[in-house]
Amino acid sequence: MNPDLKRIKHVVLDMDGTIYKGGTLFPWTKPFLDGLAGRNVGYTFLTNNPSKSSAAYLQHLHKIGIEAVPEQLYTTAQAAVDYIKRKHPAFRRLFMLGTPSMIEEFAKGGFESASDSADDLPDALVVGFDMTLVYSRLCRASWWAKQGIPYIATNSDRVCPTDLPTVLVDCGSMCAAIEHATGRAPDITLGKPDPTMLEGILNRHGLRPDEIAMVGDRLYTDIRMAERAGAVGVLVLSGEATEDDVAKSTVKPDVVVPTLAELGNLLMNCK
Quick one: pLDDT band at residue 19, thresholds 50, 70, 90?
A: very high
Q: Average pLDDT for residues 130-155, to the nearest whole number?
A: 98
Cα separation, 190 vs 187, in Å, equals 10
Catalogue the long-range contacts made by 158-165 (C-beta closer than 8 Å, 24 or more residues apart).
160/49, 160/51, 160/129, 161/16, 163/22
Q: Is the pLDDT of residue 271 over 70?
A: no
Domain residue ranges of the chain, discontinuous segments joined by +: 5-48+192-270, 83-189
- Mean pLDDT over each residue of the chain, to the nearest integer: 94
Q: How confident is the model at residue 10 (pLDDT cuts 50, 70, 90)?
A: very high
In this prediction, residue 185 carries a pLDDT of 98
pLDDT in the model for residue 128: 98
Q: CATH number of 5-48+192-270: 3.40.50.1000, 3.40.50.970, 1.10.10.10, 2.40.50.1020? A: 3.40.50.1000
Per the CB < 8 A criterion, the answer to whether 138 and 107 are in contact is no
Side-chain half-sphere exposure of 195, counting CA atoms within 13 A: 13
Query: What percent of the chain clears pLDDT 70, i.e. is strictly above it?
Result: 99
Residue-wise pLDDT for 186-225, tens only, equals: 999 999 999 999 998 999 999 999 999 999 999 999 999 9
Q: Give the pLDDT confidence of 236-252 residue by residue, as tens digits.
A: 999 889 999 999 999 99
Kindly state the average pLDDT of the residues 165-181. 96
Same fold for the pair 5-48+192-270 and 83-189: yes
As a CATH number, domain 83-189 is 3.40.50.1000
Q: Do 52 and 121 form a contact (C-beta atoms < 8 A)?
A: no
Query: pLDDT tens for residues 33-62?
Result: 999 999 999 999 999 999 998 899 999 999
**Residue 255 bridge partners (DSSP):** 234
Q: pLDDT at position 265, please? A: 94
Identify the pLDDT of residue 162. 77
Which is higher by pLDDT, 96 or 16?
A: 96
pLDDT value, residue 256: 97
pLDDT at position 2 is 60
Can you tell me whether residue 91 is helix, strand or coil? coil
Entry pTM:
0.89
Q: Decide if 255 contacts 261 (C-beta within 8 A).
A: no
* Mean pLDDT confidence for 100-123: 97
Question: Is the CB of residue 97 less than 8 Å from the CB of residue 128?
Answer: yes
212-216 and 159-160 as β-strands: parallel, antiparallel, unpaired?
Answer: unpaired
Predicted confidence band of residue 269 (pLDDT cuts 50, 70, 90) = confident
pLDDT at 21: 86
**Of the candidates 149, 141, 154, 24, the residue with the CA atom closest to the CA atom of residue 101:** 154
